Amino acid sequence: MSRQVEQRIQELRRQLHDHGHRYYVLDAPLLSDGEYDLLFQELVELEAGHPELISEDSPTHRVGGAPLAGFETVEHLVPMLSLDNVFSAEGMGEFEDKVRRYLRLEGEISYVTEPKLDGLAVELVYQQGRLVTGSTRGDGIVGEDITLQLKTVASIPLRLQSGPEPAWPEQLIVRGEVFLPKQGFKELNEQRLEEGLPLFANPRNAAAGSLRQLDSRVTAARPLDFFVYSMSVSEPLGCGGQLELLESLARLGFPVNPLVRGCAGLEQVVAQYERLEQLRHGLDYEIDGMVIKVDRLELQQRLGATARAPRWAVAWKFPAIQATTTIEQVEFQVGRTGVVTPVAWLEPVLVDGAQVRRATLHNQDEIGRKDLRIHDTVLIQRAGDVIPEVVKVVVEKRNGREEAIVFPERCPACETPLEQLEGEVAIRCLNVFCPAQKLQRLIYFAGKNGLDIDGLGKKSVEQLVGVGLVEEIADFFYLEAKQLAGLEGWGEKSAQALLEALERARQPRLDIFIRALGIRHVGEVTASLLAARFADLSALLAADQQQLLDIEGIGFRAAASLEQFLHSPEFARSLSRLEAAGVAIQAVRQQQQALSGRVFLFTGRLEQLSRNEAKELVKAQGGQVVSGLSKRVTDLVAGDKAGSKREKAAAQGIAILSEEGFLELFQS
């Protein structure tokens, strides 16, 4: 092993940790995304060629690993308690009175205030500056070990920042909140709706559901974020107050919420609460109140805790963002994959400063579960920019005028009979030529989840389709300035800006292009797997369903959907027109391909490494791993008690490797 390689790996890790901290925590990047990706890719290739140098705190662990069989448990060194709530300035005054009586204090009490995020509380344990364990709150005493999942959250440091002096103790245990930003929550629910999956009720459920994925690669595909807010034990950093503690944690590389404020007395606490209440809807994450903590750590220790909550902190909750109104009518909208979604038109009502006219009813099962009817008085709830939803019916206000909500039997856009597929809650139009689906696919293709073309928002795409300029995805790249400039709301400048944006979009990466097509059951994770497996789009188009199924992480539904879409005459025509328009789909730069073209099957028990570790070694070098013996297998790795697969493989002329022979493949 070359000393130069080891030094280069260490230098790449240092650079990537530093640049990741600047990008995700400080919001002050020094590198472009492309430059960062090149460094990251170099590290991936070096680690693949030298697996003995792979470290648990390497930035390459951000992408997730093999699925777990289940979560282990972790006992918290210090219990993770809940917070008591107050709902008014009077309640806050009562909290301060209790603190004064308990401590027998006179004079002003200094506090630290923090936004109360709507996420999932976690605990992170660092040994000698490296993240070794991450867990949920659980019951406060014992939580779930979600270390692999938390390592995929880009803003959580895998190792701590260091300075000119020793910057961290041997063990550091911090606590914070993992959350899903508003836009990420909206896009995740839109994707689940299209796939016929149950929706997350709120960002907190979405964050919790993302972190409880046994397959951490699913977690890695979701845009989770993190803010630190405390330590399990504060002594290791030698701080005197909560504000000083957070400043110290920030120096170690932890993201601290920028809206944290020190308050010299109750009057400033009230003013900060009112400020946060005004700011809350402009934030890109949900908050449901403000946490107030006694600043001095010595006072915190004296105050202690009850069985369920600390005496030195309290959560001042915001008023509920709800209102009552009436369902006037229900319309049924068709999404890009044919899912029909009921949307209630409401008697307009002001909810937290915004007029609400519509609310999603999700699906037929939700309508039945909540027993919703036209003309019902309902309680609705608004969460930021997300479309409001109906919480429940106010049954006491029914007067006999209510009418059942009848789901249509035919598609409201194309009259095709609707179907509910086995195992799904969604009701769909299966006509791929449905005009409503075509419109939604075009919106998706050009939108943020697709090619992200500036100037092609939902309304613009609807307008272009409405005037007949766009019927399918290739049409975007044939638009002309004179056509656009003559449209209502357009001019020469906006037309030229769109053409420039389209020019920038003519060379999409293969994974982004696949995702932009909006194929059912094919999201970001599947698109990445496909781009990593196939050299280019031509290779993907040549693959049959079995070859798709042989890719670990791709199931039957995704493979069948891919094959049907990619081999359809409609897509063939679009692709031909895209190529004629100069659209060139770029292959994703592949990792070192020492095992390219080889397909491995493992059998028996391995002694020197786990089965999952062996699989990851193969995939890191460009090989494939399958779970069953077939003609495609090129190498069978036979461990202890290999069984009948060894004999069958030998009969088929497949190369058989011992564990030692397998490991020799990775020695440089």
As a 3-state breakdown, the chain gives helix, strand, coil percent values, each rounded to 5, of: 40, 20, 40
β-strand partners of 287 = 117
Q: Is 605 helix (H, G, I), strand (E, B) or coil?
A: strand
CA-closest candidate to residue 334, choices 255, 232, 433, 210: 433
How many Cβ atoms sit within 10 Å of the Cβ of residue 169? 16
DSSP 8-class letter at 417: B
CA-closest candidate to residue 606, choices 657, 651, 559: 657
* Spatial distance between the Cα atoms of 157 and 159, rounded to a whole number of angstroms: 5
Burial of 632 (C-beta count, 10 Å sphere; 0-12/13-18/19+): middle
Query: In Å, what is the CA distance from 497 to each residue of 42, 445, 471, 493, 502?
Result: 36, 18, 21, 6, 9
Catalytic-role residue among 116, 182, 438, 619: 116
β-strand partners of 373 = 404
* Spatial distance between the Cα atoms of 245 and 372, rounded to a whole number of angstroms: 50
Residue at 292: amino acid letter: I
* Spatial distance between the Cα atoms of 134 and 155, rounded to a whole number of angstroms: 14
* Spatial distance between the Cα atoms of 82 and 618, rounded to a whole number of angstroms: 45
CA-closest candidate to residue 547, choices 536, 568, 562, 565: 562
Tokens of 39: 């460094």
Tokens of 411: 């598609």
Check if the beta carbon of residue 375 is closer than 8 Å to that of residue 403.
yes
> Within 13 Å, how many C-alpha atoms sit on residue 510's CB side?
21
- φ/ψ (deg, to 5) at 86: -130, 160
How many Cβ atoms sit within 10 Å of the Cβ of residue 341? 17
Q: Which residues contact 10 (CB under 8 A, 6 or more apart)?
A: none
Active site residue 459: no
User: Please, what sign has the CA dihedral across residues 563, 440, 445, 195?
Assistant: negative
Q: Is 168 helix (H, G, I), strand (E, B) or coil?
A: coil
* Spatial distance between the Cα atoms of 571 and 564, rounded to a whole number of angstroms: 10
Check if the beta carbon of residue 188 is closer than 8 Å to that of residue 206.
yes
In 252-351, beta strands by DSSP E? 261-264, 287-294, 313-317, 322-334, 340-351
* Residues acting as catalytic residues: 116
